Copies of this chain bind each other. A is one copy, B any other.
Amino acid sequence: MKFSTRAEYGLKAIINLANAYPKQRSISEIAKEERISIKYLERLMGEFRKKNLVKSSKGKAGGYALIRKPSRVAVGEVIEIIEGPISPMKCVGEDCALRHTCPSGRVWTKLGEQIKKTLYGIKLSELINSKI
């Protein structure tokens, strides 16, 4: 069971922005500091922008900034933007109308809830230097 490295890179980039909040930073700055390829990071930031987690300004002095205060952004949000909804198992087999009868299903449901609880319990402010 692993999260993708996309999630890791995305989280790092967002933490980087959280440290600059409310200022903006360019992709090349973030990419350099976090050692992510510029092109790869561009795509990740595009997803964050579409989900209104960051705002961008175009043109020469452009860049990205976090929209909300770091204390108002949960790690869970960041992860779900990158990885899609958190649910640790895609039901195997055909019709999962058996879902509530299915013993292993109970495990995945419970686990999914715990993971969400954990990830939504951590705010970006806890991961940066100055707490805002």
Residues of B within 8 A of A104 (CB): 8, 11-12, 15, 127
Counting CB contacts under 8 A, is A73 at the interface?
A: no
Chain A: residues with Cβ within 8 Å of the partner, total of: 37
Contact stretch, chosen from A25-33, A42-50, A56-64, A106-114: A106-114
Q: Which residues of B contact A115 (CB under 8 A)?
A: 1, 111, 114-115
Contact in complex: A8, B89 (CB < 8 Å): yes
Chain A contact residues, CB within 8 Å of chain B:
1-5, 7-9, 11-12, 15, 35, 75, 79, 83, 86-90, 92-93, 103-104, 106-108, 110-111, 114-115, 117-119, 122, 127-128
Q: List 20 A-B contacts (CB under 8 A).
A: A1-B1, A1-B4, A1-B7, A1-B86, A1-B88, A1-B115, A2-B87, A2-B89, A3-B88, A3-B89, A7-B89, A8-B89, A8-B92, A8-B108, A15-B103, A15-B104, A103-B127, A107-B119, A107-B127, A110-B122
